[in-house]
Chain A
Amino acid sequence: KQEVTQIPAALSVPEGENLVLNCSFTDSAIYNLQWFRQDPGKGLTSLLLIQSSQREQTSGRLNASLDKSSGRSTLYIAASQPGDSATYLCACYGGSQGNLIFGKGTKLSVKP
Chain B
Amino acid sequence: EADIYQTPRYLVIGTGKKITLECSQTMGHDKMYWYQQDPGMELHLIHYSYGVNSTEKGDLSSESTVSRIRTEHFPLTLESARPSHTSQYLCASSETRTRGTDTQYFGPGTRLTVL
Q: Which residues of A contact B (CB under 8 A)?
A: 4, 31-32, 34, 36, 41-46, 49, 51-53, 89, 91, 95-97, 99-105
Is the CB–CB distance between B58 and A97 below 8 Å? yes
Q: Which of B71-115 contact A (CB under 8 A)?
A: 90, 92, 99-101, 103-109, 111
A82 to chain B, nearest CB (A): 22
Which of A41, A43, A52, A99 has most chain B Cβ within 10 Å? A43
Is the CB–CB distance between B40 and A95 below 8 Å? no
Please name the residue on chain A nearest to B108 by beta carbon. Answer: A43
Known: A95-B45, A97-B48, A102-B43. A45 touches B100 (CB 8 A): no
Which chain B residues border A53 with CB–CB below 8 Å?
A: 100
A4 to chain B, nearest CB (A): 7
Is the CB–CB distance between B106 and A45 below 8 Å? yes
Which chain A residues border B48 with CB–CB below 8 Å?
A: 97, 99
Which chain B residues border A105 with CB–CB below 8 Å?
A: 42
Which chain B residues border A89 with CB–CB below 8 Å?
A: 42-43
From A51, A52, A99, contact of B59 by CB (8 A) = A99
Which chain A residues border B41 with CB–CB below 8 Å?
A: 104
Which chain A residues border B108 with CB–CB below 8 Å?
A: 42-43
Which chain A residues border B44 with CB–CB below 8 Å?
A: 102
Is the CB–CB distance between B58 and A44 below 8 Å? no
Q: How far is the CA of A44 from the CA of B92 in the complex (A)?
A: 9
Q: List 5 A-B contacts (CB under 8 A).
A: A43-B6, A52-B100, A97-B48, A97-B59, A102-B43
Which chain B residues border A46 with CB–CB below 8 Å?
A: 103-105
Please name the residue on chain B nearest to A94 by beta carbon. Answer: B59
A90 to chain B, nearest CB (A): 10
Which chain B residues border A99 with CB–CB below 8 Å?
A: 33, 45, 48, 58-59
Q: How far is the CA of A95 from the CA of B108 in the complex (A)?
A: 24
Please name the residue on chain B nearest to A99 by beta carbon. Answer: B45
B102 to chain A, nearest CB (A): 8
Q: How far is the CA of A98 from the CA of B44 in the complex (A)?
A: 13
B3 at the interface (CB under 8 A from A): no
